[in-house]
Structure 1
Amino acid sequence: MKMLTDSLLPLLLMLLLAGCGDSDVQEVRTWMKEVDAQTKVQVPPLAAPKTFIPFAYAHKDEQDPFNPNKLLAELAKLAAAGGVSGLRPDTERRKELLETYPLDTIQMVGTIEKKGVIYAVLQVDRAVHQVVVGQHLGQNFGRITRIDDTTVSLKEIVQDATGDWVERLSRLELQESKETTK
């Protein structure tokens, strides 16, 4: 058996080396050279880039239109002139207790009538307060204008985007009780 493997081994090696020959590869190489010589690649040329001409601001003596100080200066002029509307909150008066709370933290829980005067009953945290028309409420200089069974109407004085003081109407509505009766 050893003799059989000794004689077959060199024969197998010769067959393997014969498979690595250059039989059909030369034909493929010749064909590729012919196709490469006949094919002409045409790439269109790139367009020239546009030249950028920067804009020069020639009015150096005038105020720059993009300067943020320009807007501040105009707002200061309006404020010095009293604004467009002339409406301003009274900052000299002493603030009332309910003006220290934001309006969204105050709840209307009812109304009371005493001697012909209607009082709104308002709750802030766990404290209950009675208010009448004319009292101030909320942090935006709000003043109560009307009280009825279900709402407290008020006018607030707030600043708009340009810095002018404007009136805004707000109201508190009666909050339904969360307790259930049996």
Structure 2
Amino acid sequence: MKLLRYALLMFFGFALSGCFEIHQGYQDIDAYMADVKTRPMGNIEPLPQFRPYEAFTYQASAMRSPFKQPVKVALSSDQLNSNIKPDASRVKQYLEKFEMDSFRLVGSISNDEGFWGLVRGSDGVHRVKVGDYIGRNHGRITYIDEQELRVTEIVPAGPKYWIERPRILPLDIGSQ
């Protein structure tokens, strides 16, 4: 027991001896630290405040492109008094989801079953025939040949009136 007591005393004595300051040979470091502490402190600018990102949803995709010329339609009294209006009970076809300006006639094919136009849209090439609907303005294909595709659209001309507007898609050789 006495031996254990002396061993613990010796251990704590050595452990506590490391806590005392002994300054021998460190005067240059102490002088440098004192000099650094007396210098004026620098100014650190605060970080700039950033606004969080606000997501923007473009909602004008169904409207006319601002980079295209607007279509001017001269209306006569005969056109306004007509009974032209789109068929609301008709089931919409796939190509009626897209703007007419997004289509290009890139070719045509024919066989015993008929004659088709090949129309390139934003999602690929589609085969169309006379009587199919295309574009958002109730456009119905009225004529197809090797050089052009003709469409008659029904567009609003006021709150109660509709008019027919012809459109032509010429053959676009550059997009093949």
Report the equivalent of 2:18: none
Mapped pair 1:117 → 2:114 = yes
Taking structure 1 as the reference length, the TM-score comes to 0.50
Amino acid at match of 1:118: F
Report the equivalent of 1:97: 94
Give the superposition deviation at 1:147. Answer: 0.2
- Distance 1:178-1:88 versus aligned 2 partners, 3 A rule: closer
* 1:54-69 alignment, distance < 5 Å: none
Aligned match for 1:137, one of 134, 146, 158: 134
Mapped pair 1:153 → 2:150 = yes
- Give yes or no for contact 2:84–2:162 (8 Å, CA) kept in 1: yes
Give the superposition deviation at 1:160. Answer: 1.3
- Give yes or no for contact 2:106–2:175 (8 Å, CA) kept in 1: no
- Distance 1:157-1:123 versus aligned 2 partners, 3 A rule: same
Report the equivalent of 2:167: 170
- Distance 1:178-1:160 versus aligned 2 partners, 3 A rule: closer
Unaligned residue ranges in structure 1 (runs of 5+): 1-82
| Largest Rg, 1 or 2 | 1
- Distance 1:87-1:178 versus aligned 2 partners, 3 A rule: closer
Amino acid at match of 1:160: A
Report the equivalent of 2:125: 128
Secondary structure in 2 aligned to 1:99? Answer: helix
Structure 1: distance between partners of 2:130 and 2:175: 27
Q: Percent identity, aligned pairs only?
A: 33
Secondary structure in 1 aligned to 2:115? Answer: strand
Runs of 4+ in 1 over 6 A off after TM superposition: none
Unaligned residue ranges in structure 2 (runs of 5+): 1-79
Structure 1: distance between partners of 2:173 and 2:121: 15
- C-alpha RMSD of matched pairs (Å): 1.8
Secondary structure in 1 aligned to 2:173? Answer: coil
Structure 1: distance between partners of 2:89 and 2:103: 24
Taking structure 2 as the reference length, the TM-score comes to 0.51
Aligned pairs, number: 97
Deviates further, 157-166 or 123-132? 157-166
